[in-house]
Amino acid sequence: MVYIFRPDLEGLCSGIFVKLGIPLEEAEDSARILVAADARGIESHGTARIKRYADGIRSGFMKGGVVPRVLRETPLSLVLDAEGAMGLSLSKKSMEKVIAMAKKQGLGICSIRNSNHFGIAGFYAEMAARQDMIGIAMTNTAALGVPTFAREAMFGTNPVAFAAPGLDGRMFCLDMATTTVTRGKIEVAARKGKSILPGWAVGTNGLSTGDPVKLLDDMLFKRGGGLLPLGGEGEAMGGYKGYGLAVMVDILCALCSGGSFGGAVRDSEITSARVCHFFMALRLDIFRDPDDFKRDISRMLDELISLRPAEGEERVYYAGLKEHEAEARCEKEGVPLTEEVWKVLKETAVGLGVEIPCPAR
């Protein structure tokens, strides 16, 4: 692994975006969100995606400086057409608007169509949690997930994030795909030359596959096969529940905004598909005193981590704990990147004339 201090890595990524024609504020937002993924150990959604973003920007599929078109607006809701904007910065600004609505009305909601990849959903849910609110963020993605009993993809990884604050900056933050794994994990396995685990995906025959390279190719060219819904194959382990959650995300993100959904959402060889998002913020004091709520959240988290671990395990975690601990380590040690990701970042930077920072170690 190569370790890069977080400000240096953010500066490198924002420099790349600026050289690609993205306005400075959008470039800095985008870099901050991508680096946050790497800092939390979510390498599938971090700076490894820089080349795909660069290709999307060069092709004109992803655009900087776009002012989204307002389709509908009420005091507590907003529907936008992003018109191809960078999904990262757009989503940050949209969650800020949702939070502002919630401060006035107690609730804020935004559904967006025609956007691009927005990174980790948890980043946006946590924005609300830091403002004494419950935060929710979702996005649909290219159709990579195979419905229960099917052999063709008809929904995305369609992640859901939910964040609720505790005391002293602690929070519960669930950030999960509604498929068993994300495509990013398949890409990581392919980069490392490893097989994927049984129950992660099916091939063109609808049966479990271990070949990540063929799977990625089959998914890209719509030959069949794809990721399994949360729970895995069939009904025995509850795969139909993940399937239902994925469709729910499509309804809130795409059908509420009038955007593309299901099999119509497709990646190209060079860039990710145009996608739809959904954001919500709920002010704590519409339910109860915020300090009492946060005190109870902290007590719940303490009770969870105080449980006796299963034989062979060291600890019990709650959603977000591993990621926040990893992020804290990065402040001292630097953000870890694989040699391959660092090589691609450097090649992209050199090609654009962006200065490359020295590794932390």
Query: What is d(CA 245, CA 152) in angstroms, rounded to the nearest whole number?
Result: 18
The pTM of this model reads 0.94
**Contact in structure between 154 and 141 (CB atoms under 8 Å):** no
The DSSP result for 108-163, as a single string, is EEEEEEEE-----HHHHHHHHHTTTEEEEEEE--SS-BPPTT-SB--B----EEEE
Q: What is the pLDDT of residue 149?
A: 93
Q: What is the pLDDT of residue 187?
A: 86
List all residues 6 or more positions away from 172 whose beta carbon is below 8 Å from its beta carbon. Answer: 162, 163, 164, 166, 297, 300, 301, 318, 319, 320
Q: Which CATH number fits domain 60-286: 3.30.465.10, 2.40.128.20, 3.20.20.220, 3.30.1370.60?
A: 3.30.1370.60
| SS3 state at 20 | coil
Query: What is d(CA 255, CA 251) in angstroms, rounded to the nearest whole number?
Result: 5
Calculated CA dihedral for residues 40, 45, 49, 53, nearest 10 degrees: -120
- Looking at residue 1, its amino acid is M
- In this structure, whether the domain defined by 1-59+324-361 belongs to CATH 1.10.1530.10 is answered with yes
Q: For the chain, where do the domains classified as CATH 1.10.1530.10 start and end?
A: 1-59+324-361
Q: For the chain, where do the domains classified as CATH 3.30.1370.60 start and end?
A: 60-286
As a 3-state breakdown, the chain gives helix, strand, coil percent values, each rounded to 5, of 45, 20, 35
- Looking at residue 318, its amino acid is Y
Instruction: Per residue of the chain (361 residues), give pLDDT as tens.
Output: 999 999 999 999 999 999 999 999 999 999 999 999 999 999 889 999 999 899 999 999 999 999 999 999 999 999 999 999 999 999 999 999 999 999 999 999 999 999 999 999 999 999 999 999 999 999 999 999 999 999 999 999 999 999 999 999 999 999 999 999 988 789 889 988 999 998 899 999 999 999 999 999 998 888 999 999 999 988 989 999 999 999 999 999 999 999 999 999 988 777 788 999 999 999 999 999 999 999 999 999 999 999 999 999 999 999 999 999 999 999 999 999 999 999 999 999 999 999 999 999 7
Q: What is the pLDDT of residue 192?
A: 87
Of 121, 125, 130, the C-alpha closest to 170 is: 130
Q: Which residue has the tokens 């400075």?
A: 24
Q: What is the pLDDT of residue 184?
A: 78
Report H helices in 162-289. Answer: 183-192, 212-220, 239-250
Q: What is the pLDDT of residue 269?
A: 74
Question: CA–CA distance from 354 to each of 13, 26, 321 (Å)?
Answer: 9, 17, 35
